[in-house]
Amino acid sequence: MSESQPIWIRDPLAILADGAAHGVVTSGGRIIELVGAGCEPATPNAAVFDARAHVVIPGLINTHHHFYQTLTRALPAAMDRELFPWLQALYPVWAKLTPEALDLGVTVAMAELMLSGCTTTTDHHYVFPSGLEDAVDIEVAAARRLGLRVSLTRGSMNRSQRDGGLPPDSVVQDEDTILADSARVVAKHHQRGPDAMVQIALAPCSPFSVTTSLMRATAELAEKLDVRLHTHLAETEDENAFCQEIYACRPLDYLEQCGWLGSRTWLAHGIFFNKEEMTRLGKAKTSITHCACSNQILASGCCPVCEMEEAGVAIGLGVDGSASNDGSNLMQEVRAAFLLQRARYGVGKVSHKDALSWATKGSAACIGRPELGEIAVGKAADLALFKLDELRFSGAGDPLAALVLCGAHRADRVMVAGKWAVVDGVVPGLDLADLIRRHSAAARRMQIG
């Protein structure tokens, strides 16, 4: 099959799209036709992929992660702690990150995401110990090797323990260094337009790990370079207390004072916003990433997703760091978000299609990529195909609902920009056994010291 040849994904078992019962045709990285029941494609000479055993959904989009944290999953020193003491336990370990370890951590996270049906992912890398100055470049190289679409955020911290912050001095950088490298990675890697495979956003870590000066300067730089902004906000009550004590205001007020409240920004967590703040977020078109698993494991709270949406806030999904999740499976995150929000709001407010929408159209809105997250003509040919041949699916009546309710966790096929990135449940060319061996060894070296 030629890479330029159109592909007809024919007769899916089920598809999350209207008017596509007979499948979809892709070409040139785009969806060019939806084929309705009883119809044939108008596109000539399309190669056929028989999808009768597959449920087809838009490629899932992960809007918050920390790839390097795959190296510290289920770390005993950090278990059973809330956010601030959890960070304090982990920062000394993360300070040992090397370029080689980061490359392994990134590759593991990306592969795990892809195998779960993810076609686009963000990452929030904000620890820069000496020798790791090229962290974003390492991530870009890994994404290109694997064929994954990415929106990587150049994270930052410049308020260390000596300044009243949480991180040790060894993982922070000064403001000038941060801003210079932010401009460098945007100039080197950021692609524009609907076909972009690599985009860069700017992402100071949190109100308690960066200075006001850096927050404001980063907003100004993002405006100048026309890139997006990302940070953690309203994740815990401790953060609220910190902002009240240090800045004499709540986190959202502080964000607005720093020039961040607008459509360029998406925020991770968003648990502790009040009704008035949700209205302000909606009017500003600032988006929120819901991180259901991480929020439950750290006992941070529950994002008020339905109130947010009613206020006009777009909601996406993120697996968050693999040291708080402790995984990078976005399909499982869809199920976790569904269950958490269903328990909060009831059966009449949250359906399996809502949860899938958060991980597709909602996540696309978070990262400013309207061409992603939907199966429609003109949209990117980013698709995830799941088989229902496991024991967990036996007896399922609704194939789409089964993905969420029965706990799908591994895609059989994944297409990114019209190219197969996962084939028969495998990332082509990636030796998983060797990757696990080398990644586990790097994790042990970091954890033991």
Tokens for 281?
């977020």
Q: Is the pTM of this model over 0.75?
A: yes
pLDDT at 446: 95
pLDDT at 1: 53
Tokens for 106?
């990134």
Q: Where in the chain is the domain with CATH 3.20.20.140?
A: 60-366
* Domain over 7-58+379-422 is classified CATH 3.40.50.300: no
pLDDT at 449: 67
Asked whether the beta carbons of 201 and 151 are under 8 A apart, the reply is: yes
pLDDT at 389: 97
> What CA–CA distance (Å, rounded) separates 395 from 388?
10
Tokens for 140?
């870009």
Q: Output 3 or 389, whichever has higher pLDDT.
A: 389
According to CATH, the superfamily of the domain at 60-366 is: Metal-dependent hydrolases (3.20.20.140)
Residue 317 scores a pLDDT above 60: yes
Per-residue pLDDT tens over the stretch 163-220 = 888 888 999 999 999 999 999 999 999 999 999 999 999 999 998 899 999 999 999 9
Query: What does the pLDDT average to over 316-343?
Result: 96
pLDDT at 2: 57
pLDDT at 41: 96
Neighbours of 81 (CB within 10 A): 15
Q: Where in the chain is the domain with CATH 2.30.40.10?
A: 7-58+379-422
Strands 287-290 and 30-34: unpaired
Sign of the CA dihedral running 181, 187, 188, 190:
positive
Asked whether the beta carbons of 8 and 48 are under 8 A apart, the reply is: yes
- The torsion angles phi and psi of 399, rounded to 5 degrees, stand at -60, -40
CA dihedral 201, 133, 449, 70 (to 10 degrees): 30
For tokens 């260390």, name the residue.
Answer: 160
Output the average pLDDT for the chain: 96
Contacts of 145 (CB under 8 A, 6+ apart): 107
